[in-house]
Structures are given as structure tokens and as C-alpha cells.
Amino acid sequence: MFDFKFDWCKEMECGVPAIDDQHQILFHIGREMEQLIMHGCQNATTKELLDIVCELREYTSYHFYTEEDLMLKYNYPETDQHKQSHAVFRASIIDIDLPRLGKHPEEMVPQIKDHLQDFLFNHVMVEDQALGRYLVSSMKE
């Protein structure tokens, strides 16, 4: 029985619709990886594997930009620390070894999926919740 992890639930919302919508798309990318694993990634084409990593890289960059832009606009006091978390994750997905992914997808796709899962659950539930609370109260003023 496959253990699906990327199910979005209301508790994960941070209260800022633009951020919540984007988080759900990142969860969707995680879900695509789960599907790939479930169907045996060794059968995936190189294009399918590259597409999913490119999608993850591009969407993550776009999403981090959105959050960082809001932090700047509303003078978020924890900006440096939050941006540092983004930078560490961004670097880790840029570092994905694509030739190795093509050769050993059955080993690499679960690793990438677990890495995304750890980051999303820890970051979304802690740092983004704190950012959301700050932004929601700042936007009211």
C-alpha cells in the first residue's frame, strides 16, 4: 500500500491566498512524484523525469520570489532567516544530478520526493505560517 503524503489540508493554509494557492501547486508536484514512484519510475522516460525536476525548480523559484516580494513590501522582520531557508532548498534542487536521475530513477525520484516532503511540511507548517500571520495582520492595517 502506497503511503500518500501530499494531501493538502486546511491546517496548512497560512491565510494569504496567493501563497496558499502556490503551496498547493508544490504539493501537486509532490503528488506527481508519488504517482511516478507508484507506477515504477524505471519505466518513466527521460523526458518525464526531466520535466518533473524542471517543473519543481521553476515553480519553486517563482513561489519563493512571491513570498520574498511580500516580505519586502510589508517589512517582514524575519526576512533574512526565511530567505536563507529558501536559498538552501533552492540550491539543493539545483544540485540534483540529472545524468544520475536518468540512470537510476528508482533510487533518485524517491529521494527527491522525500526531500520535497521534508521541506514542505517543515517550512510550510512553521516558517510560512509565521509569515502568513504577519502578512495577514499587516495587510489589515
Measured from the CB atom, is 35 or 117 closer to Fe ion?
A: 117
* Angle at 117 (CA atoms; ends 115, 118), nearest 5 degrees: 65
Q: Does 14 interact with Fe ion (rule: CB under 5 A)?
A: no
Measured from the CB atom, is 40 or 77 closer to Fe ion?
A: 77
Binding to Fe ion (CB under 5 A) within 51-80 occurs at 67
Q: Does 134 interact with Fe ion (rule: CB under 5 A)?
A: no
Contact predicate 57/116, CB 8 Å: no
Measured from the CB atom, is 35 or 79 closer to Fe ion?
A: 79
Q: Which residues bind Fe ion (CB under 5 A)?
A: 67, 128
